[in-house]
Structures are given as C-alpha cells and as structure tokens.
Amino acid sequence: MHRSAKRLASLLACAAVPVMLVAGCSGSDSNGSDGSSDAPSTSAKPSATVAAAKYKKLPNPCEAFSKDTLGKLVPKTKNKGGEPGTSDDATSHGTCSWDSSDENGVDGTQFRWLDVGFQRYDSDANPAVGTGEKRAADFYAKQVANAKGTEGAKKVQTAKTDGAGDESTAITYDIKKDKTPFKNTTIVARAANIVVTVNYNGAGMAGADTPKAAKLLKSAQAAAKEAVAAAVKANG
C-alpha cells in the first residue's frame, strides 16, 4: 500500500471535527444530543404566550450542497451522495459527510473533509424553556464555544459570515491529526429556529503542501450559505 494511503486510512476516522452536531474523534454523540435540554422538544403545542417556531422541516443533509459545490470542495470523493449520519427524528436533526483524497504521485496527496449538521428546535409550551428561536440561539452559542475550545486547536480565530441566516460565526484553527497538520474551518449559522454547522478541513500528506487557510475559509463560507438556503427552501 502506498505510504500516503496508509496514513489516510488512519486519518479518516479522526477527520471529523469534534463539534456537537458531528461525530468526531472526541466521541461526541452523532445525533447531536448530550442528554440535556438541547434536545428538540416533543412537548405540547406552544401556548398563547410562547410564539410558534418559524421552520417545521429540515432538508435532506446529503442534498444540502450542489454537485458544483461538492466538485470544488471534495473533488475526489468516492461517495458523491454523501455519508448520512443517524437520526431518530429527521425533522429535528440530520448530518452528512464527504471526504476526498487527491493523490498526485511524488507531489503527495491533498485530503479534504466536509460535513454539515442541521438542528431544529420547536417552541415549548413551558415559558421557562422558551421559543424555538431562543433555544436555537442558545445552541448556536454553544456550538461556537465548542469549536473555539476544540482540544489541540492552535491559532484560533473567528470571523463573521455575511448572508448566512440571522447570525453566523466562522472559527478557523490549526490542528494535528496523527502528526499531520490540518487547516480547519467551522461555520455555525442560525436561521430562526434552525442551527447549521459546516466543518471543512484539509491537509497535505506525503510531501504535499498544507492548504491555505484563507481558501478553505472562503469555500466553507460559501457552503454554509448554501446549507442555510437549503433549510429555508425546505420550508417553502
């Protein structure tokens, strides 16, 4: 087996960034729930004092990106249909991921990982729990904090992503997986009561150059806007 192929096999299991919505090396729950009140409510309909949630549906996460987008971000993926995560309620939670390994002989291998997670919140009749929008805003803040606090992350920076929902934050950092340096971007965006998390990272292996952080960020921001638009479109 080619040396880069051996290293790739050991990296695939750890490529996902440990953000709550996405299964990663941290052992976080791929269903996006940690057993706390972050889980979408299935309680009674909102009372007159609690506004109903704006969005009722989620898109198929594996259809969140166009073929053109996937062709640019993960050009050598072997599964263009994506790898869906598990979910016991597709109207409240969904994830999908893609990976790409572009081998160029003596010039090394360019590896890319892309994943998207959707989390939707209903309003709860209990005013202490709150509206779907408030619950999503709370989860949005936790997602940003989780990304910024990724274990082993270096050179952590944040930036705004205009045009991606009601609020959005991009978190970039460097991190090593199996001694290979990765450049990572996580975009967390909120559209009313839906939170969208996009992770995009890359690495140069077997002598290939490490990808440019600015280019990965630009690509991830475009993907996040597309994912948010897919969520809005799913609701007509």
Q: DSSP for the chain?
A: --HHHHHHHHHHTT-S---TTS--TT---TTS--SSTTSPP-SSPP-TTSPPPS------GGGSS-HHHHHHHSTTBS-TT-EEPP-S-TTTEEEEEEEEEEE-GGG-EEEEEEEEEEEE----SSTTT--HHHHHHHHHHHHHHHHHT-TT-EEEEEEE-TTSSSEEEEEEEEEEETTEEEEEEEEEEEETTEEEEEEEEEEEETTPPPPPHHHHHHHHHHHHHHHHHHHHHHT-
Report pLDDT for 208. Answer: 79
Does the pLDDT at position 4 exceed 50? no
Report pLDDT for 42. Answer: 46
Q: From CA 118, how far away is CA 192, in angstroms rounded?
A: 12
CA nearest neighbour of 121 among 141, 137, 143, 136? 136
Report pLDDT for 22. Answer: 44
Torsion 188-151-177-16 (CA) sign = negative
* Domain coordinates in residue numbering, the chain: 3-25+47-206+215-234
pLDDT digits (tens, 9 = 90+) for 27-73: 333 333 333 345 554 444 555 578 899 999 999 999 999 999 999 99
Q: From CA 138, how far away is CA 208, in angstroms rounded?
A: 40
Q: From CA 85, how far away is CA 71, in angstroms rounded?
A: 21
pLDDT digits (tens, 9 = 90+) for 155-179: 999 988 888 999 999 999 999 988 8
Does the pLDDT at position 113 exceed 70? yes
Report pLDDT for 136. Answer: 98
pLDDT digits (tens, 9 = 90+) for 121-148: 999 988 788 999 999 999 999 999 999 9
Average pLDDT estimate for 113-128: 93
pLDDT band at 26 (very low <50, low <70, confident <90, very high): very low
Does the pLDDT at position 3 exceed 50? no
Mean pLDDT for the chain overall: 83
pLDDT band at 218 (very low <50, low <70, confident <90, very high): very high
Percent of the chain with pLDDT over 90: 63
Average pLDDT estimate for 8-12: 51
Q: From CA 65, how far away is CA 229, in angstroms rounded?
A: 10
Report pLDDT for 43. Answer: 46
Report pLDDT for 25. Answer: 32
Output the pTM of the full model. Answer: 0.81
Q: From CA 39, how far away is CA 33, in angstroms rounded?
A: 6
